[in-house]
Amino acid sequence: MSGSTAPAGPLQGALRLLDYWATVYRRTWRGSIVSSFVTPLLYVLAMGVLLGGFVEADAETLEGATSYLAFVVPGMVAATSMTTVVGEVTYPVMAMVKWNKTYYSMTATPLSVPDVVLAHLGFVAFRVAVTAAVFLAVTAPFGVYASLPGVLAAFVAQVLIGMAFAAPLYAFSAGLRDESAFSIVFRLGMIPMFLFSGAFFPVSNLDAPLEALAVATPLWHGVDLTRMLVLGLPDWSMVLVHVAYLAVLVVLGWWWAVRRLTRRMVL
């Protein structure tokens, strides 16, 4: 931030904000323990261990999982990546534009809007990575993972899943005039996807129109990708489809985020 010349690109500009986001994390990480780690683990214990003890189904019914617990855990990992992101790019983004105007202070320096956006999304990616790493480590003793390489691949996938939600939601938040629209995001977006995108039961159990809608959601792609990787049953053609789908959301979301924040801060 102290440099007198403009950064050569968004990456260099984002690195200049590293100290700021490191300070933010040091001051706020304790508040994320319950939402990021405790709550998902309680879901796994309640749905996978306790309720799962009453579920009798074969591997074909559970998409290759040998138990309901093995079915639920990867779904919860992907769902946690989504919920972590939603909390980071809704109210915090609006606060930095509307309430405390931190973005205006940042762009009053040689930093540009793309620098600011990349730095914030980089922080969100870090948050997702930390949450996913802890969640995967805590659930490993349950014996539901097929191999270490699969778990490592699933970890990388969580960052992609997180960014596929973060970039479009960031863009949506950056252009809002007030926070009332966030209730739509939570009630008609996050909660339905959390419940009906394959984390807790196969989407094939839904009626055909609802199944098609579920399959079109980014969380279903994230859940299915994570489950295939941790169970050691990857269908590589579907892996490519999932990765391509999520990557397109990241790219389009990035373009839209820069455009929306630029227009919001100029007007």
**pTM greater than 0.85:** yes
Cα(240)–Cα(157) distance, integer angstroms = 12
Question: What's the chain's average pLDDT?
Answer: 88
Each residue of 95-107: b (16+ CB within 10 Å) or e? Answer: ebbeeeebbeebb
Cα(263)–Cα(58) distance, integer angstroms = 53
Instruction: Name residue, tokens 């984390």.
Output: 199
Cα(161)–Cα(74) distance, integer angstroms = 13
pLDDT-based confidence at residue 162 (cuts at 50, 70, 90): very high
Q: What is the DSSP letter of 32?
A: G
pLDDT digits (tens, 9 = 90+) for 80-101: 999 999 989 999 999 999 898 9
**Contact criterion met (CB below 8 Å) for 198 and 204:** no
The helix-helix angle for 113-139 and 68-88 (nearest 10°) equals: 150
- SS3 string of 109-176? CCCCHHHHHHHHHHHHHHHHHHHHHHHHHHHHHHCCCCCHHHHHHHHHHHHHHHHHHHHHHHHHHHCC
- Cβ neighbours for 221, distance < 8 A, ≥ 6 positions apart: 161, 241, 242, 245, 246
User: Which of 29-33, 53-57, 162-166 has the highest mean predicted lDDT (pLDDT)?
Assistant: 162-166
The mean per-residue pLDDT over the stretch 146-173 comes to: 95
pLDDT-based confidence at residue 49 (cuts at 50, 70, 90): low
pLDDT digits (tens, 9 = 90+) for 226-258: 999 999 999 999 999 999 999 999 999 999 999
Cβ–Cβ contacts within 10 Å for residue 89, how many? 28
* DSSP percent split of the chain into helix, strand, coil, nearest 5: 80, 0, 20
Each residue of 130-147: b (16+ CB within 10 Å) or e? Answer: bbbebbbeebeeeebbee
Cα(221)–Cα(229) distance, integer angstroms = 12
Which of 214, 111, 222, 107 is closest to 166 using CA atoms?
Answer: 222
